[in-house]
Structure 1
Amino acid sequence: MAAKDLSTMYGLSESDPEQKLINRAGMSASDLEQIDRIMAEMGRMRQIERRIMRSSQEFMKLNETDMRALRKIISAKHAGRSVTPGELSQYLGISSASVTKMIDRLEAHGHVLRTKHPTDRRSQCVEVTEETHLAARDQVGRHHAKRFEAASRLSSEERDVVIKFLAGTSDAMESSLGSPLDDDAR
């Protein structure tokens, strides 16, 4: 793959010119150039992911929390599970009242249905409508399929290196926050 001109605010010269955060001792110019390229590609991927998310939100006329809720409901459906409003509240980190308003809004726009819980008659479940499920697959699923295609073109050894890098990066970034990530990011 030919090198692209990928400027980034995360490059070493832009983010740490005085080497106060990152010790570069013993690293060759070639190593530093490769690391800058990795940072630039990660930045480019984040920008593309934000464009995809905005496009999907605009197409489906939903906000980010609505999209996260639908992903949770769709994932549960694929796993043969139901989702309750309480589970959505915990997953999204929002109050029960906010979840109720969100479900009301999503139901009014034809995105979800409330159904009886299969084992607890006092509880309700939330299910995605077939139309919204198909729209989400077309909008978000096709982008996810492209990620899969890129990963499938790598050898097993190359995938191990990518896994090690991404897991190590996630662990390092998470440790800088001091608290674990929610399930949505995993």
Structure 2
Amino acid sequence: MAGSEGAQDDGERGQLQRVLIDDVRTLAYRTQHLAHAFAEQQAMHPTDLEAMVHVMQAETDGDPLTAGRLAGALNLSSAATTSVVDRLERAGHVQRERDDIDRRRVHLRITREAMGVAGAFFGPLGQRTDAVMAQFSEAELSAVHRFLVGFSQAMEDAERAHRSAGERSSEGAPQA
């Protein structure tokens, strides 16, 4: 009976999807706790760590951040972002660097010292995750990558929708 077999497959698929959601939730929870442990060890505010991650990722992508783009990524005001960057710069984690072409433009860069501190803390995790990934074929890793990219995009879309809904609801709110 093809129909009943399909229903069973849907049940198994639904169960697997629920397990995957739980796995992603656990991964997010553990990632957040590890990030907080690093931030605590470095006497950093979690927002400062998030800023560092954005700056580092932008450099990795070959598109260094400006303070304005960092403000957008952190959903902070310009003044609050300046405070974050100032703290990170004083701590030796980031540096401001003028653009070679447009000297008015300033890029944020991760320092070698920050990379060394991060490497010392997260290096053992990198070794462990390398060992985990070695257990998977290229095709399996590619499928995991597609899943994570799609999942991340879905979360970004949901965050954007919630932010837009919040902005729309605050527009109609009475002024104090």
Q: Same fold (TM over 0.5)?
A: yes
SS in 2 for 1:91: helix
SS in 2 for 1:62: coil
Asked whether 1:108 is paired with 2:93, we answer no
Asked whether 1:93 is paired with 2:93, we answer no
Residue range with higher mean Cα deviation, 98-107 or 142-151? 142-151
CA distance in 2, matches of 1:90, 1:178: 12
CA distance in 1, matches of 2:160, 2:51: 25
- TM-score when scaled to structure 2? 0.66
One-letter amino acid matched to 2:108: V
Q: Residues 145-156 of structure 1: matches in 2 within 5 Å?
A: 146-156=128-138
CA distance in 1, matches of 2:110, 2:156: 32
Aligned with 1:138 (options 111, 117, 120): 120
Match of 2:169 in 1: none
Match of 2:141 in 1: 159
Aligned pair count reads 156
How far has the Cα of 1:170 moved from its partner? 4.5
Asked whether 1:47 is paired with 2:8, we answer no
CA distance in 1, matches of 2:17, 2:107: 47
One-letter amino acid matched to 2:91: H
Q: Residues 53-68 of structure 1: matches in 2 within 5 Å?
A: 53-68=35-50
Residue 150 to residue 90, structure 1, CA distance change in 2 (3 Å): same
SS in 2 for 1:61: coil
* Partner deviation per Cα, 1:116-165 (whole Å, 9 max, x = no partner): 32222223232222211211223245435533442332113323443454
Match of 2:7 in 1: 26
SS in 1 for 2:109: strand
- What RMSD, in angstroms, separates the aligned Cα atoms of the two structures? 3.3
CA distance in 1, matches of 2:151, 2:78: 34
Q: Percent identity?
A: 25
Residue range with higher mean Cα deviation, 80-89 or 32-41? 32-41
- TM-score when scaled to structure 1? 0.64
CA distance in 2, matches of 1:147, 1:107: 30
One-letter amino acid matched to 1:73: V
Q: Select the structure that is richer in helix.
A: 2
SS in 2 for 1:26: helix
Which runs of 5 or more residues in structure 1 are unaligned? 1-24, 181-186
Specify which structure has the bigger relative contact order, considering alpha-carbon pairs within 8 angstroms and separated by 6 or more residues. 1
CA distance in 2, matches of 1:153, 1:141: 19
How far has the Cα of 1:37 moved from its partner? 4.1
Asked whether 1:71 is paired with 2:48, we answer no
Which runs of 5 or more residues in structure 2 are unaligned? 1-5, 163-176
